[in-house]
Amino acid sequence: MGSHRRPKPPSRARIATLGMAAGAVSLLPTQSQAAPKPTVDEVRKEVERLYEEAEAPTEEYNAIREKQKKLQREADRAKDRLARKQQEINELREKIGPLAAAQYRSGGIDPSVQLFLSSDPDDYLGQAEMLDRTSSRQAEALEAMRRKQRELTQEREAAQKQLKALEETRAKAARTKDEVQDRLAKARKLLNSLTAAQRARMEADQERDDAAAGASDSPATYNGPASGRAKVALDFAYAQLGKPYEWGATGPDSYDCSGLVGASWRAAGVSLPRTVKQMYDAGRKVARSDLQPGDIIYWYNDTQHNGMYVGNGKAIHAPRTGKNIEIVPLDSMPFFAASRP
């Protein structure tokens, strides 16, 4: 396995003025010495860098969203438990009412006075026994209600903690989303600074480079050596060729890198975790020399980017914003590891 690791991008991209980066501005600029507009190639390189920097926080966002969904389910269950406990307490309270009334009717008088008032000792003893049973049932009901009240208080405290954790996760997801959107907005701004002719030239250069590297996003059908579930997963992935990359997306119209891998294997009946890191941690590692079609490929490191091996030294992946799902040579990016679902 290779040990290529890309430096972790800064939490917020700080883009130097491209003209200055190119050394195009004198040390003492005047009003008549405005920085020249960046060249098409400079814009392209900077856009690529911004898109790549958006990948790590995209995967972080995916992980936070998964945690948020889990916390939401827990909070919903806690609310259901609270409602049930409250209903049980209400039912106990209703039971205690008639018991208290019965005690008042038969037991509101001191037993010794009641004996004098009773003309029949057997009648008195019967009333005393009923009173004892009523008091006992009422005591049990009160104890049950107190126990339920204690449980309700504990449930409420647990639910409040879960809701607080959910709110914190929502806030973190929003911050991470802003981080990704910040990079994408800067990339769009750079692209919009080009003329139509410059953009056309940049796209043509990109297509030329992709062709030279052996990349293709043209619709195709998988006809490699995979079988069983791996073939089903690759058939699905190939059917997505040409669909756009979109951060945080899991299909069916667009995907991010781990979204495509997860959806492909899900089509084969295999449930994978959501993010690149989670897939790497959960998967059975395989050596590069033992790669089989359908294996998950990790490039750069264990957290940033993945795809699926298709055989013949190539892989299918959802590359980055602005590009479509494509087939590329395995070494078009630094190979890090592989795992088998």
Active-site amino acid positions: 257, 305, 317
Look up residue 186 and give its two tokens. 């800067």
Residue 112 and residue 76: Cα distance in Å, rounded?
56
- Cβ burial of 256 (10 Å; 0-12, 13-18, 19+) is buried
Look up residue 187 and give its two tokens. 């990339």
- Cβ burial of 322 (10 Å; 0-12, 13-18, 19+) is middle
- Phi-psi domain of 287 (left: phi exceeds 0; alpha: psi -120 through 50; beta: other): beta
Residue 201 and residue 218: Cα distance in Å, rounded?
20
Beta strands, E only, the chain: 284-285, 296-299, 305-311, 314-317, 326-329, 335-340
Q: What is the amino acid identity at position 158? A: A
Q: For the residues of 23-45, what is the DSSP string, one character each?
A: T-S-SS--TT-PPPPPPHHHHHH
Helix axes 40-107, 121-192, angle to 10 degrees: 170
175: helix, strand or coil? helix
Residue 266 and residue 243: Cα distance in Å, rounded?
18
What are the angstrom distances between the C-alpha of 10 and each of 52, 54, 63, 164? Answer: 12, 10, 19, 28
**DSSP secondary structure letter of residue 332:** G
